[in-house]
Amino acid sequence: MNQAGKLSEALVGGGCFWCVEAAYETLPGVIEAENGYAGGDREAPSYEEVCSGRTGHAEVVRVVYDTGKLSYRQILDFFFTIHDPTTEDRQGADIGEQYRSVIFYANDEERKEAEAARAAAQSRFDAPIVTAILPRPRFWPAESYHQDYFRTHPDAAYCRIVIAPKLASIKIVK
């Protein structure tokens, strides 16, 4: 995979979307990581509605990547290194179904890749992986103030205490 390829998308949720977005932005071949909401029952939900726990949405990141530099499987393998996929509806102090671990697939091939990536990742964890693998629903972009949050708010407490240490520990999957 040395040549430029076409652009493709993955849709994943692994806790706070600020963390997931910041992590994917470190991965060579990722063109864009956009925060948003998916998997709920309300049209165009707001952050406040999603945080209420009444919409069923997860905080997700739409990852746009160059298929000449990254495969869908590499996107997924990286996903399992940047969050704890064994905790249901939470990541650290972030608790609620909006923080669930989820992969939304667009077709049967992506579903099979997601299942294989989850199975391969299981050997690195003592507890069972609880990551859901579901058909891709509509993606709703998050409000503009949530986009590129770590990059634009590096001195915010959450960024210093949660995101920066996570980024420092990331191992790029080759």
Phi, psi at 54, each rounded to 5°: -100, 0
Of the residues 16, 19, 51, 159, which is catalytic? 16
Q: Please tell me what DSSP assigns to residue 82.
A: S
Q: Comparing C-alpha atoms, which of 11, 98, 24 is closest to residue 55?
A: 98
Does 16 qualify as catalytic in the annotation?
yes
The SS3 call for residue 12 is strand
The SS3 call for residue 87 is coil
Phi, psi at 128, each rounded to 5°: -65, 140
Q: Please tell me what DSSP assigns to residue 86.
A: T
Do the bridges between strand 132-135 and strand 101-105 make them parallel or antiparallel, or are there none, so unpaired?
A: parallel
Using a 10 angstrom Cβ sphere, with 0-12 exposed, 13-18 middle and 19 or more buried, the burial of residue 61 is: buried
Catalytic (active-site) positions = 16
